[in-house]
Amino acid sequence: MAGLLQNFRNTIIVSVVLALILVAGYRVHHGSTDAIFWQGVFRMIHVFSGILWIGLLYYFNFVQIRMMPSVPAELKAGVTKYIAPEALFWFRWAAVATLLAGIVLAWNRGYLVQAYTLGALEGFANPQTVFIGVGMWMATIMFLNVWLFIWPNQKIALGLVEADADAKAKAGRTAMLFSRTNLLLSIPMLVTMTMNQTLFG
């Protein structure tokens, strides 16, 4: 068991296999591979990737950005050269998976266009599409922030692309401000994601 747990890849494989056994059990109980079955599957994929993405956003904001000023200069490279690039890899691709699974989920629920137009197509008469639409826009803006601002600026700040010291400092600050913007949007975004079903079914 310790051998298994010492290996990241094998631990993930076992976790996915256990998840698939449960999904298979759900399929047997449900009796069909219909739209509701896939809704359950994509909801799980969406929440898993969302946890990975926002978990890393919280790691950056709750821990790394706050602690970096107090890390001794000779140790900073450990974070910028090893920890941050790996964290950013999972961060930006988890954002892609979250967005795609979220879009599939909204399409499966039958309100993708209605929600992305914030209920305007229904004369704002359906509170559910306004509510989840606001959250979907907040999360989509967060996704765009990751790919258009945080990652390009982090590449400069971390020295993954050539830049002088001034450009690195400026890029680091820009990345930090967009990361903070996502932190700010994350809690109201989660209100809409998690309360939608409870409020509106």
The contact set with ligand HEM (CB under 6 A) reads 43, 46-47, 50-51, 53-54, 98-99, 102-103, 105-106, 109, 132, 136, 139-140, 143, 193-194, 196-197
d(CA 97, CA 99) in angstroms, rounded, equals: 6
User: With respect to ligand HEM, which residue has the nearer C-beta, 84 or 99?
Assistant: 99
Q: How far is the CB of 112 from ligand HEM (least distance, A)?
A: 8
Give the nearer residue to ligand HEM in terms of CB position, either 108 or 170. 108
- Which residues, in sequence order, are CB contacts of 53 under 8 Å at separation 6+? 91, 94, 95, 97, 98
- Beta carbon nearer to ligand HEM, 56 or 176: 56
User: Are 146 and 91 within 8 A, CB to CB?
Assistant: yes
Smallest separation (angstroms) from ligand HEM to the CB of 17: 23
Kindly state the smallest distance separating residue 123's Cβ from ligand HEM, in Å.
20
